[in-house]
Structure 1
Amino acid sequence: MIMEQRLTAEERLTLKTGAFGAVFLVANADPGMLALFRESFAASGAMADSSGVVKEALTSGPLPKLPRDSALEIESVVLPALGRAVEILREKSPGDVAGYREVVLSAAERVAGAHRGVTPAEAAAIERIRGALDQPA
């Protein structure tokens, strides 16, 4: 049996960068001022549903620094962070891998549906997020 290991501050930040970045990536796919409030509220609900190591990583420590200049730049940080987060969890807390994927995808889907339904750009962003989370070991 594999024992859960404590995550370092850097590893927690990687999980947080992936999760918060995924939300930002979807929100940025179809930006709007009114939508921003609804989307933030929707994402926070999904994050609150997390537990264990994932909840600790998402609710403690500093906020991640995410690029804001372009969608491509955001993706270049967020998608690798999601893949790395899954690797970290596989190594240190395998029982939390599915929970992390579920929380990230739930938050992304809630953000996409929070304002006027899911747009094609948001759906495409969610598929890229899903792909990053499903990278083989």
Structure 2
Amino acid sequence: MIMAQPLTDEEKLTLKTGAFGAVFLVANADPGILALFRESFAAAGAFADARGVVREALTGGPLPRLPRDSALEVESVALPALRRAVEILAAKAPEQVPVFRSVVLAAADRAARAHDGVSPAESEVIDRVRGALGTNATGR
């Protein structure tokens, strides 16, 4: 299906901010330098597996600027960006909404599993990401 309107650079950055922010939140839920590296690398694979406009948004263009002072500040940027990303895709490329949700949740899950399995703190963050994406526990 061809989109009626292409995503703007700002809209692509919103998708990327939400997705990268979600991974950052998961990676920092159970901190450690080596773990952070492994988790980020694992999540990158999920982004590369995306297709369509979601892949274009997540793998091209500049990196998002996320706050660095606290996880709470990152969450205050990332979760609204996820909600806005779903709205953008619903309006411009509705068939890409499930793709975006799936890719973000896969990246979050890969990040959590990359170092000693999913911790309770990581699971809690993934639940908040799932809520921001508008999905239930099964991802729908």
TM-score (norm 2): 0.93
Query: Hey, what does 1:74 align to over in structure 2?
Result: 74
Q: Partners of 2:50 and 2:78 in 1: how far apart?
A: 19
Q: Does 1:44 align with 2:79?
A: no
- The CA deviation string for residues 62-83 of structure 1, in whole angstroms up to 9 with x for no partner, is 1000011111111100000000
Q: Does 1:119 align with 2:119?
A: yes
Code of the residue aligned with 2:8 in structure 1: it is T
Q: Partners of 2:118 and 2:68 in 1: how far apart?
A: 22
Aligned length: 134
Code of the residue aligned with 1:10 in structure 2: it is E
Runs of 4+ in 1 over 3 A off after TM superposition: none
SS in 1 for 2:7: coil
> How far is the alpha carbon of 1:3 from its aligned partner?
4.8
Backbone CA RMSD of aligned residues:
1.1
Q: Partners of 1:35 and 1:28 in 2: how far apart?
A: 9
Q: Does 1:92 align with 2:96?
A: no
Unaligned runs of 5+ in 1: none
Query: Hey, what does 1:14 align to over in structure 2?
Result: 14
Query: Hey, what does 2:65 align to over in structure 1?
Result: 65
Code of the residue aligned with 1:66 in structure 2: it is L
Q: Partners of 2:80 and 2:33 in 1: how far apart?
A: 28
Query: Identity over aligned residues, as a percent?
Result: 71
Contact 2:28 2:36 in 1 (8 A): no
Unaligned runs of 5+ in 2: 136-140
